[in-house]
Amino acid sequence: MDQDALKKQAAEAALDYVEGGIVGVGTGSTVNHFIDYLATIKGKVEGAVSSSEVSTERMRQHGIPIMDLNAAGDLALYVDGADESNQDLQLIKGGGGALTREKIIAAASAKFVCIADQSKLVDLLGNFPLPVEVIPMARSYVARELVKLGGTPIWREGFITDNGNLILDVQGMQIREPAKLEQQINNLAGVVTVGIFALRPADVLILGSEQGPQIITA
């Protein structure tokens, strides 16, 4: 099976967690498959809170009602992908640049189900460049501070987030203490969000594999 087929398998397995109400929906190619599956049971849900303009557009095309998080309140379920996960279900996210809204919805949700192909499971986070969303005027300052933390930040040129900000992708990080580094980077002036999801990790990780969906719980 190719990587996309494994993503699709994980996305389909996540449907088992949809019990109705309003579903939080992430961003990315794996989530795109989930949105397509969610459309097949859309009568079962009231609607979705979306983490990006791209996911909103895809759900609108399927006729899935889009809700505002402020009106929806806390959510029972959030489904999203990841760029890396460790065994503790701490994640690197933000490859698609939607990390801030993703982190907000994850925080507001009782259960976070992460869907991915099996290649995303790693022993140590940091091989995937760590995305950091920054206020535009803070780009160079934050980059210098990230160098002090041992990383090599690369500006994702030409990319503007849905919030009007920039992304720095930090290479060369070996993230041995994810929660500590999440707090350190979040505390830098001008950082909106760092793509480490350790303070609020996933609750369930569904990995597409040749043997079928593998489910890891926190």
Q: Take residue 208 and report the two structure tokens written for it.
A: 């597409």
Neighbours of 138 (CB within 10 A): 18
Q: Is the CB of residue 208 less than 8 Å from the CB of residue 10?
A: yes
Q: Of 99, 106, 194, 205, which one interacts with ligand 5RP (CB under 6 A)?
A: 99
Least distance CB 84 / ligand 5RP (angstroms): 9
Q: Is 182 a catalytic residue?
A: no
156-175: contacts with ligand 5RP (CB under 6 A): none
- Does 182 sit near ligand 5RP (CB under 6 A)? no
Residues in contact with ligand 5RP, shown as a per-residue x/- string from 69 to 98 under the rule CB under 6 A: -----------xxxx---------xxxxxx
Burial class for 102, CB neighbours closer than 10 Å (0-12, 13-18, 19+)? buried
Least distance CB 43 / ligand 5RP (angstroms): 26
111, β-bridge pairs: 77
- Does 11 sit near ligand 5RP (CB under 6 A)? no
Give me the catalytic one of 102, 133, 145, 182.
Answer: 102
Tally of residues, the chain: 218
Q: Take residue 176 and report the two structure tokens written for it.
A: 């041995």
Q: Is the CB of residue 10 less than 8 Å from the CB of residue 30?
A: yes
- Active-site residue list: 102
Judged by the rule CB under 6 A, the positions of this chain that interact with ligand 5RP are: 26-30, 80-83, 93-99, 102
